A and B are shown apart, each in its own frame.
Chain A
Amino acid sequence: MTDPHETRKRPPWLRALGLVTLVLFAVGAYLALVVSPPDVNQGQLIRMMYAHVAVAWVCFVAVIVTALYGMLFLWQGKHLNDARAVANAEVATFFAGLTLLSGMTYSKPTLNTYWTWDAKLTLTALMFALLVGYFVVRGLIDDPTRRGRVSAVIGIVVAVSLPFNYLAAAWFRTLHPTLSVAVTGIHMAPTMLVVLLFNVGVAALVYLTFVSERVRIARLERAREEARERRERGAAEGEVVRV
């Protein structure tokens, strides 16, 4: 480490990314709230969809990335990859919470109920529970290497569980509106699609900003932890010499 004060500062690119994200977030909100036409069936309520779908997509991406960084950590043993996995898991938990909240607010006026045992809602709720388990276990392990390894394993199990949870929940019952953007084609007015994709892009930028900031903080935490360990070791050795 060269200069501790240098690394403590937020790098310029991260500052710029944060600013761009903030500006684009405002533009996305303007597009969703003002520019987008009201929906034929749902009227003004369609404006909630832009936020709901955007955070939902990003939260699934973050879970997959958590598992991928976990695998990288298992493969190479670099603690930076563990920090990246945790950053993704934290953002995934946050976005899963947002997906659940926005989904419940959105479904009350459109489907006339806060909670349905719908496939996608159930999947998100289960994923939220799995992510909470990930953090509970992390909190109980002190050794950083074992903590990283066990978290990586849980991250993999969580990612593997997604398709099964989805299938089971989908067969169980579904009330969710069918996918408007699917591999088979797009069923959505062009303006609305542009607004949706723009908002998904903004959510992805928010995700990138949060993850980068979290990784930066994790590196600082680790540097401090190592410095303290060195100090303690030095103090202990000093005592031995005195005795």
Chain B
Amino acid sequence: MSDLAAILAVARKDLLQEVRGRAVTVATLFFSAVTLVMMAFAIGQDAALLQRSAPGVLWVALAFAGVIASAQSFQSDLEEGAFDQLLLYPVPRASVFLGKLLANWLYLTLLGLLMTPVTLVLYGAPAGPRAWLLVPTLALGTLGFALIATFYAALTANLRAREALLPVLMFPVVVPVLLGAVRASEATLQLSNAALTGGWLQLLGGFDLVYLVTCTAIFHLVVEE
């Protein structure tokens, strides 16, 4: 089995499991929706303020969803002892990481595409003619979240207090992703200077590339033998 086929097989397994069980969907879809509504209540009635907060709230909701989704993807494997079997296959450990990453990334991007219009409606933000740029922003931003979340979820999967530990470890690392994605979304929705989008997208792309290489290279060190 080639490495690429192994990656696709792991991703397919995770996605199929999700389509049949819907554990992550139930946990994250309603969680993100509730976060959006709660934040809208917390921000209050000021229409201009609501509009300006839309990108920030969307990305915070996606960051929380990323934590839940990646933790769950290792948890369900560990519960039935399936993860040990996965590691026994004669493929590089990195392909297990990349497969899980691919599944988490696809899932988060879909969730983001679903949540964006909901956010825009709830927060009264106009889509504008450049709104299509939200798609690359979503793809790059959720890849950054998925990378760090999947990596740290594997690292913490066997530790006590992992539910609390994962966000504590992950959030300081993904701050550049959060900043870049929120600023790029603001620029795209014309809530700030539109010319800034490119620079922030480059930052996101650079982050994704560097961590993709780093995490893939050292993933085999974090899984328990």
Which residues, 138 to 182 on B, are CB-close (under 8 Å) to A?
151, 155-156, 159-161, 165, 168-169, 171-173, 175-176, 179-180
Q: Please, how many angstroms separate the alpha-carbon atoms of A128 and B222 in the complex?
A: 22
Contact check, A154 vs B221: say whether CB atoms are below 8 A apart: no
Which residues, 41 to 69 on B, are CB-close (under 8 Å) to A?
none
Task: Identify the stretch in B110-118, B122-130, B204-212 within 8 Å (CB) of chain A at 4 or more residues.
Answer: B204-212
Q: Which residue of B168, B171, B214, B218 contacts A136 across the interface (Cβ within 8 Å)? A: B168
Chain B contact residue count (CB 8 A cutoff): 30
Contact check, A168 vs B179: say whether CB atoms are below 8 A apart: yes
- Closest-by-CB residue of A relative to B215 is A157
**Nearest chain A CB to B116 CB, angstrom units:** 22
Known: A137-B159, A150-B155, A164-B207. A126 touches B165 (CB 8 A): no
Most A Cβ at <10 Å: residue of B175, B214, B215, B218? B175
The answer to whether A141 has its CB under 8 Å from any CB of chain B is yes
Contact check, B210 vs A172: say whether CB atoms are below 8 A apart: no
Contact check, A168 vs B218: say whether CB atoms are below 8 A apart: no
Contact check, B221 vs A153: say whether CB atoms are below 8 A apart: yes
Known: A137-B156, A168-B203, A171-B203. A152 touches B161 (CB 8 A): no
Known: A74-B221, A126-B172, A167-B203. A140 touches B160 (CB 8 A): yes
Q: Please, how many angstroms separate the alpha-carbon atoms of A157 and B199 in the complex?
A: 23
Which residues, 37 to 65 on A, are CB-close (under 8 Å) to B?
none
- Closest-by-CB residue of B relative to A125 is B172
Which residues, 47 to 88 on A, are CB-close (under 8 Å) to B?
74
Which residues, 188 to 220 on B, are CB-close (under 8 Å) to A?
199-200, 203, 206-207, 210-211, 214-215, 218
Contact check, B214 vs A160: say whether CB atoms are below 8 A apart: yes
The answer to whether B79 has its CB under 8 Å from any CB of chain A is no
List the 9 shortest-distance A-B pairs measured between CB atoms, nearest first: A168-B176, A164-B176, A129-B172, A168-B179, A133-B169, A140-B159, A126-B172, A130-B172, A161-B173
Known: A74-B221, A164-B203; 14 extra A-B contacts, CB below 8 A, are A74-B218, A126-B172, A127-B172, A130-B172, A132-B168, A137-B155, A140-B165, A149-B221, A157-B151, A157-B215, A164-B176, A165-B172, A167-B176, A168-B180
